Amino acid sequence: MDAEAAASRVLELRTLIAHHDQCYYGSDAPEIPDAIYDALWRELQQIEVQFPVLITPDSPTQRISGAPAEGFGSVTHLVPMLSLANAFEDADIAAFDRRVREALIGQGDLEPDGLLEFGAELKFDGLAVSLRYEHGQLVQAATRGDGSTGEDVTLNIRTIRAIPLRLTASPVATPEVLEVRGEVLIFRADFKRLNQVQRAQGEREFVNPRNAAAGSLRQLDPKITAQRPLRFFAYGIGTVDDRTREQLPATQSGMLDWLVDLGLPVGPCREGILGGAGLLQFWARVLAQRAEFPFDIDGVVYKVNRRDWQDKLGWVARSPRWAIAHKFPAEEAMTRLLDIEIQVGRTGALTPVAKLEPVFVGGVTVSNATLHNEDEIRRKDLQVGDNVIIRRAGDVIPEVIRRVPEARLSTTRPFVMPTACPVCGSQVAREPNGAVLRCTGGLFCGAQRRQALRHFAQRRAMDIEGLGEKIIDQLVEQELVQTPADLYHLSTEVLAPLFRAKNPREESRAASNLVGAIAASREVRLERFLFALGIRHVGEEIARILARTYGDLEPIIHEDWIERLDQKLAVQKENQRRRQRSDPPLVVPLEGIGPEIISSIGEFFAQPHNLQVIDALRAGGVRWPVEIGTKVGWENISAEAVGVVGGEIETASGVCSGQTWVITGRLPSLSREEAAERIRLAGGKVAGSVSKRTDFVLAGEEAGSKLDRARELGVAVIDEFEFLRRMLNG
Ligand code: IVH
């Protein structure tokens, strides 16, 4: 390669890499696999080694530069970095709308009955920075500091791949000077991984993604910052040159689009909203989706959309009059750990549960939180009586995150796990190489029996309507039911007193309804029955694979699971080899069922007790239609000969064969679960979130972010009517 060819290839590679960084960090829609991206990088590095004169500061290879500093220089913000006034109540928002409207009406800008347009955005929970681009090149970056003066963090900011070192040239003219304001943050999944690394290296863990982002940006050694998974979202501008100012889009939303055109990442879920009433709906909608965003948000922000009106409204006391933050209920709160109790789960696992002084967090009052297991308590160094930080995010079970570091009172006491089951007194055993303690009582243990019955009766298993927790608890307490099979022998007379209704007639009616529901559950699909059995690690998906592969229960019971396990391990090994050679992998039956699950299935059917329960269920009339299993291919694969002959397994074929579906919103007639079942029966897969690999989105009423995402990615969206038509016509 001559120097001229190298120069043009280098430019091309830098543009390509910047484009793919933008796809990845800006629109969250990578266009190429990581391996190809890495190859572009390597090629660029090689050419730069060969032709060092071609290296410029805006090359992605130059993101990490400079030696560790003694401290940060300071940067004066020419346009101050303001903060937002916070609102927590609906009334605060109504007052904001009124204030702004009155000011604009008073100045003759808005008609008295005119509605105001707002740009609504997410409020990212990170830290504010200002990035200065001159002639398209990133030249300086600063933290907010006190709003007038911040710290110079240019070298650290340069390591963040989401931030372009050079603005995209087209389709807009490159501004001479542009200061971009935005938030540096860390995504939740990255934060978890970062803390795992910190733990593995014996370093202190970070408290939350925001602190981790702040700590990472304030590292004196940019090499350390470069290892931290920092991201960036732009939400505004500071200083711009005069010529650019004249050409700036007239609205906040237009300005954000313009920043996107310049190659800057802007957060998702922006909306233009006409009139104050719509703001509250936006807030509620985003709050409902809060857990689905891959990063933390602590509220939403409303901004008067017209920029000339923003300027007119100005600011008071370091906050703009034209914008407000509408906060969400905090997801973290401090409270006292009053006690640690032990809960026994369906599979006998002993889970310590924190009993807390009730505290309002994440929008609800919380008095219990999970502590996972004994190791977790030790790792977090918790004692009964400690002050703790708890977190409740979305619908997630509240968790004790850590204790508040403070001198302990003499009244705190360490916690010790019991050696006997607190419910049935059976011995407790530690799982081999696991942190989990289990009660060995099985169905002898009241807690396990209760949970097993709840699991058995639930809608997604045997679907016994009316067999709720209260009735189950009484059935267990009064020893009316030992195993799920006993349910099929219950009479109206036995059940009636459990209902405690107003009069005996109502009790007897409720009881006879339940007897009817139990009877109706006798006819069941095999996959649901398998799921209902409560085999460890066998969820609905695994149960479905088993049912499809074997077609009936008998072959599953008589399967040689030890042999299957050996084969699975051998196939895994072989496929690892094949992957390294880029050969196609062996496809074998029970795809998707790993060795741990196979062991668990084998252990379950090896227990005579479990087989007795199954026999008793069958004797009680439980039955399922036999399906045509697709089991082929095992015969060709012996553990030793794996890799020589690999049997192909055919998966179910049907209208949806090979397709991935996502279901969202309320469908007019089918439940989501029913629609999912139809898709699976037709050979398709149902996924929880929309990606490029999604073939169809089945959307009903009030479909939210998944529908938006589908539209963004151009995934086909159909309604229930069209769905049913396809299912019928094939
Ligand atoms: S606008 C003049 N928009 O919230 C208005 N801020 O106190 C300046 N923040 O320091 C801020 N998301 O760090 C704006 N979409 C958003 C934001 C946002 C997060 C942060 C920002 C600021 C603080 C407000």
- 220-231 residue pLDDT tens: 999 999 999 999
Report the residue among 179, 184, 301, 307 best suited for mutation to probe ligand 1: largest number of ligand atoms under 8 A from its CB.
Answer: 301
Instruction: State the Cα–Cα distance between residues 726 and 526, nearest whole angstrom.
Output: 26
Q: Is the pLDDT of residue 644 over 60?
A: no
> Which one-letter DSSP state was computed for residue 397?
P
Ligand 1 centroid – CA 676 distance (Å): 41
Mean pLDDT score, 314-331:
92
Q: Is the pLDDT of residue 555 over 70?
A: yes
Mean pLDDT score, 429-450:
87
Ligand 1 centroid – CA 324 distance (Å): 9
Going by C-alpha positions, the residue among 360, 365, 400 that lies closest to residue 383 is: 400
Q: Which atom of ligand 1 is nearest to the CA of 128?
A: 13
Going by C-alpha positions, the residue among 158, 121, 125 that lies closest to residue 139 is: 158
| Cβ of 124 less than 6 Å from ligand 1 | yes
**Residue 64, helix vs strand vs coil:** coil
- Per-residue model confidence as pLDDT tens digits over 100-138: 999 999 999 999 988 899 999 999 999 999 999 999 999
Instruction: Please give the pLDDT value at position 95.
Output: 95
Instruction: Please give the pLDDT value at position 640.
Output: 41
Instruction: Please give the pLDDT value at position 729.
Output: 64
Instruction: Please give the pLDDT value at position 464.
Output: 96
φ and ψ at residue 351, rounded to 5 degrees:
-115, 125
Mean pLDDT score, 326-340:
93
Instruction: Please give the pLDDT value at position 170.
Output: 63
Ligand 1 centroid – CA 236 distance (Å): 9
| Cβ of 236 less than 6 Å from ligand 1 | yes
Instruction: State the Cα–Cα distance between residues 490 and 468, nearest whole angstrom.
Output: 15
| Cβ of 323 less than 6 Å from ligand 1 | yes
Ligand 1 centroid – CA 121 distance (Å): 10
pLDDT range class, residue 653, cuts 50, 70, 90? low
Contact 488, 617 (CB under 8 A): yes
Q: Is the pLDDT of residue 67 over 90?
A: no
Active-site residue, 502 included: no
| Cβ of 129 less than 6 Å from ligand 1 | no
Instruction: Please give the pLDDT value at position 171.
Output: 64
**Residue 325, helix vs strand vs coil:** strand
- Per-residue model confidence as pLDDT tens digits over 595-612: 999 999 999 999 888 999
Q: Is the pLDDT of residue 350 over 90?
A: yes
Report the residue among 84, 298, 300, 324 best suited for mutation to probe ligand 1: largest number of ligand atoms under 8 A from its CB.
Answer: 84
Ligand 1 centroid – CA 185 distance (Å): 13
| Cβ of 128 less than 6 Å from ligand 1 | yes
Going by C-alpha positions, the residue among 405, 404, 448, 411 that lies closest to residue 428 is: 448
Q: Which atom of ligand 1 is nearest to the CA of 325?
A: 24
**44-46-52-54 Cα dihedral, nearest 10 degrees:** -20
Q: Is the pLDDT of residue 623 over 90?
A: yes
Ligand 1 centroid – CA 591 distance (Å): 48
- Per-residue model confidence as pLDDT tens digits over 125-175: 999 999 999 999 999 999 999 999 999 999 999 999 999 999 987 666 889
| Cβ of 210 less than 6 Å from ligand 1 | no
Q: C-alpha 348: how far from its chain's center?
A: 28
Mean pLDDT score, 567-574:
87
Q: Is the pLDDT of residue 720 over 50?
A: yes
Instruction: Please give the pLDDT value at position 630.
Output: 62
Kindly report the number of other CB atoms within 10 A of residue 453's CB atom. 27
Instruction: Please give the pLDDT value at position 684.
Output: 81
| Cβ of 183 less than 6 Å from ligand 1 | yes
Instruction: State the Cα–Cα distance between residues 293 and 300, nearest whole angstrom.
Output: 13
Report the residue among 129, 144, 183 best suited for mutation to probe ligand 1: largest number of ligand atoms under 8 A from its CB.
Answer: 183
Instruction: Please give the pLDDT value at position 647.
Output: 35
Nearest CA to ligand 1 atom 18: 123
Instruction: State the Cα–Cα distance between residues 20 and 23, nearest whole angstrom.
Output: 5
Instruction: Please give the pLDDT value at position 648.
Output: 35
Q: Position 192: which residue type?
A: K
Q: Is the pLDDT of residue 643 over 50?
A: no
Mean pLDDT score, 317-324:
92
Q: Which residues pair with 369 in a beta bridge?
A: 354
Nearest CA to ligand 1 atom 23: 83
Contact 146, 83 (CB under 8 A): no
Nearest CA to ligand 1 atom 15: 123
Contact 414, 337 (CB under 8 A): no
Ligand 1 centroid – CA 127 distance (Å): 9
Rounded to the nearest integer, the mean pLDDT of the chain is 89
Ligand 1 centroid – CA 285 distance (Å): 20
Whether the CA torsion 52, 56, 60, 61 is positive or negative: it is positive
Instruction: Please give the pLDDT value at position 726.
Output: 77
Instruction: Please give the pLDDT value at position 91.
Output: 94
| Cβ of 83 less than 6 Å from ligand 1 | yes
φ and ψ at residue 547, rounded to 5 degrees:
-65, -40
Q: Is the pLDDT of residue 725 over 90?
A: no
Instruction: Please give the pLDDT value at position 645.
Output: 32
Helix count (H) and strand count (E) of the chain? 25, 24
User: pTM of the full predicted structure?
Assistant: 0.64
Helix 608-619 with 595-606: angle, nearest 10 deg: 70
Going by C-alpha positions, the residue among 627, 509, 605, 596 that lies closest to residue 557 is: 605
Report the residue among 123, 233, 321 best suited for mutation to probe ligand 1: largest number of ligand atoms under 8 A from its CB.
Answer: 123
Q: Is the pLDDT of residue 192 over 80?
A: yes
Active-site residue, from 123, 303, 327, 568: 123
Ligand 1 centroid – CA 224 distance (Å): 26
| Cβ of 302 less than 6 Å from ligand 1 | no
Nearest CA to ligand 1 atom 13: 128
